[in-house]
Structure 1
Amino acid sequence: MSDVFIRNEREQQLVQYARGLSTQIEKTAATYDERGEFPFEHFKILEDAGYFRLTVPKKYGGDEISLYELLLVQEQLARGDASTALSVGWHLLTFLNVREARTWPEPVFAELSRKAVEEGSLLNIITSERGKGNISRGSLPGTIAKKVNGGYIISGEKAFASLAPILKQFTIIAYLEEENLTAEFLMTKNEQVEVLNTWDAMGMRATGSHDIIFHDTFVPEEALLYRHRPNEVNRFLADGRVYSLEIPAVYLGIAGSARDYAIDCAKNTYSYSLNNTIAHASHVQQKIGEMEVLYQTARRTLYSIASQVEQIPAIKEQLADDVSIAKYMICNNVIEIVTKAMQIVGGRSISKSNKLQRLFRDVQCSRFNPPADDVVISQLAQGLLVDEKQGAFQL
């Protein structure tokens, strides 16, 4: 069956390209998952194939693929190894976001783009901190930036730093004491930057999402990329956060892999009680049908929003709620899809040697990528209630 979300020859070529890479990294995905090790081998494959330059602007040697195209390739890559796809996705997402939002000084962005294209250098934004609350919910970072002659001294600790083992440079959010503002800084690994191997999670075990400690790390003034001023939209909220659709695209890839595995199993597993394959059992057909409704609804939602962004760019700022709803719905759907796939396959699906148990563990992590379910629900409700109150006052 052809994929209705592939609209032209260029997209078909990109999907085939990503499928080829997905097939290669799938060969060792289970090994890295079991060991909880970072898959440097996978990233060498991606680098050699030019994957790191996909969202880099053309003027800096990149391919400058669109948001829609990014979703297509990331969904395919995640079918092979979700940890690798989620990790490299932060890099791709960063370049897409910055090239569109234009929040960084252009000379800095140009140099980082050159490094991505020519040196295979990866980039990520590290924001999370242990015990400091969620920065996206308004908490101030515990990482402090103090002004000194020629630059800043950064001290603090970050957590869940995906790509940590391979990153040479990355950005962080820190609190500017003198200005009472938060700001984004470009950090370069050196002896004052310590990576602690703390990542030992249930799912997404090969993302290398370790902790990073800054021991009074000096950075020059040009390392301050931009300040988050009150009442100004920062790059994370820019364009209605449409670039963050890349995250549910990865989880859709996991669901698609589970779906295909379960269907193949149903077609090829013989049942002596049925005197036929289990595909002929009504309860199996019921679960496959339910699984397909969830899967197609999720894909339709994802690609419809991305298509809308392309067709009407000016509407992006109005899509924040749509993006939140898409993340909420898709990630809940994919968890249910993988669960149903395991029910179809049966008890063998919980074996450590079975692919589905890895997909099940990986897909649970979707709940912990922002925005969280409770945040989405609360923001939607508050938005409706505020509008209602304002309307009442106008009466």
Structure 2
Amino acid sequence: MAVATNVTEHGVALRGEPALTPVEMVARAEAIAATLVDRQAETEERTFYAEDTHEEFRRAGFYRILVPRRYGGLEYGIDTFMRVAMALTRGCPSTGWMYCLGHAHALVVAALFDERAQAEIFAEGDFICPATVAPSGTAERTPGGDWVLNGTWHYNSGSPYATHFIGHTMVSQAEGEPPAPMMFIAPRSQWQRVPGSWGKQLGLKGSGSHSITMENGVVPGHFTLATHVSQVDVSKGTPGRALHGNPEYGGGQLSFMVIEDAALAVGMALGALDAYEELMRDRFAMFQFNVPRTKDPDYQYWYGQAAGMIATGEAAVLNAIQQWMDICAQGPAAVTKEREMRLAAICHQVVDLCWHAVENYLFPTAGSSAVRQGERIERVWRDMSMFHSHAGFAVFLSTIAKRELAKARFGVEDEH
């Protein structure tokens, strides 16, 4: 696990608990996750997790896991972050999703933006920042170099308690050239959340994935990058790797994002397995009067098959995390497109395994009373169904990533 060592050098006092270990951080998440199970219905009704949950996350240090130590963060690395996200998702998929996609982008900022921007963005220590990949809105450059943005950006998981927002828009280039994407990060003071824009979906109703609107929002020029986050080339180094001395702030951004998908899928499936285990212990087998499900051969098989599939997915995502970290440690040139797409291919298989464990074994054999609206397995089934409509999975992981892996391997260039 990469951790920067420049705290003393820069005279920065680490906020919170300097002695807290990554293992203790994950244990905190597991303990909190247990309290989230009974609050899933209220989270869905509200469309985001409660303020007291947010405060508990803040006190636990969850919003500083990926923030550089230089700015008062914990800088534990993506392994700790992903384990925390998995644990929270196991307790409540919506809460885990909202937390994960809210804090994950601390890594993006710490890797890609320069020292001046990072010092301003991370000034408060805690960092929650939803992001969208679809360009939207309009941007006009001011004489002073700032950008004035107008528009609406949808699907911003983590927005209710956000400190910032990362979006993309299209900006004009030289005359005769098509517009190009620009990535920007906007402070909370420059945008408004649209609360009524989420909650009617099939699943992940409590993920806080609201729309964000900007009316003449001002973003400083050094808070923008002339690229799209999915197209960033880190193979020649990043500002963050040089600034913090931490290889993880120079890792592949696209592969990091898809590892989030895999970790969330594992967390959801583990939650369904927990619920199924309770049913195994508390209920009788069908057509086997007074025989506990734990002693019924069919239920033993269904549980064991699902447990094995989910455990395989968990092992694969933990290995993908380790591969990502190992690649970072090898240096910027090691972050190749082929390696990023191979990690993406692993993540697709993880999500597929977890989904099929729930869809084929846990959901259909739990019993009709256990899949009524609001029951835990029913909720996970809805959430994972919704997950499958997410463009990151349905379009990128399922199709594009496979082609890009083959093209990278065989050196095939796009013709256009």
Q: Structure 1 length normalisation: TM-score? A: 0.82
* Per-residue deviation, 1:303: 0.9
Q: How far apart, CA to CA, are the structure 1 residues paired with 2:219 and 2:109?
A: 21
Report how many residues are paired.
365
Q: How far apart, CA to CA, are the structure 2 residues paired with 1:111 and 1:156?
A: 24
Change (3 A) 1:213 1:232: closer
Look up the match of 1:4.
Answer: none
The one-letter code matched in structure 1 to 2:293 is I
* Per-residue deviation, 1:386: 7.7
Match of 1:40 among 51, 72, 79: 51
What percentage of residue pairs aligned between the two structures are identical?
A: 16
Alignment of 1:118-157 (within 5 A): 120-128=126-134, 141-150=135-144, 151-157=146-152
* Per-residue deviation, 1:52: 0.5
Change (3 A) 1:253 1:57: same
Match of 1:335 among 343, 352, 355: 355
The one-letter code matched in structure 2 to 1:222 is H
Unaligned runs of 5+ in 1: 1-8, 129-140, 391-395
Higher mean C-alpha displacement, 86-95 vs 72-81 = 86-95
Alignment of 1:1-395 (within 5 A): 10=21, 12-99=23-110, 102-115=111-124, 117=125, 120-128=126-134, 141-150=135-144, 151-178=146-173, 180-190=179-189, 193=192, 195=194, 197-200=196-199, 201-224=201-224, 226-228=225-227, 233=233, 239=252, 241-244=254-257, 245-271=259-285, 273-312=288-327, 313-314=329-330, 315-317=334-336, 318-339=338-359, 340-376=361-397, 377-381=399-403, 383-384=405-406
- Any idea what SS the aligned residue of 1:184 has? strand
Change (3 A) 1:365 1:192: closer
The one-letter code matched in structure 1 to 2:356 is E
* Per-residue deviation, 1:232: 5.7
Superposition RMSD on alpha carbons, in Å?
Answer: 3.0
- Given that residues 251 and 324 in structure 2 are in contact (C-alpha distance below 8 angstroms), is that contact kept between their aligned partners in structure 1? no
Q: How far apart, CA to CA, are the structure 1 residues paired with 2:117 and 2:404?
A: 39
Higher mean C-alpha displacement, 255-264 vs 26-35 = 26-35
Q: How far apart, CA to CA, are the structure 1 residues paired with 2:48 and 2:193?
A: 18
Change (3 A) 1:206 1:240: closer
* Per-residue deviation, 1:259: 0.8
- Any idea what SS the aligned residue of 2:379 has? helix
Q: How far apart, CA to CA, are the structure 2 residues paired with 1:290 and 1:279?
A: 14
Change (3 A) 1:10 1:276: farther
- Given that residues 86 and 247 in structure 1 are in contact (C-alpha distance below 8 angstroms), is that contact kept between their aligned partners in structure 2? no
Look up the match of 2:4.
Answer: none
Higher mean C-alpha displacement, 65-74 vs 105-114 = 105-114
- Given that residues 193 and 210 in structure 2 are in contact (C-alpha distance below 8 angstroms), is that contact kept between their aligned partners in structure 1? no
- Given that residues 294 and 334 in structure 1 are in contact (C-alpha distance below 8 angstroms), is that contact kept between their aligned partners in structure 2? yes
Unaligned runs of 5+ in 2: 1-19, 239-248
- Any idea what SS the aligned residue of 2:381 has? helix
Change (3 A) 1:71 1:273: same
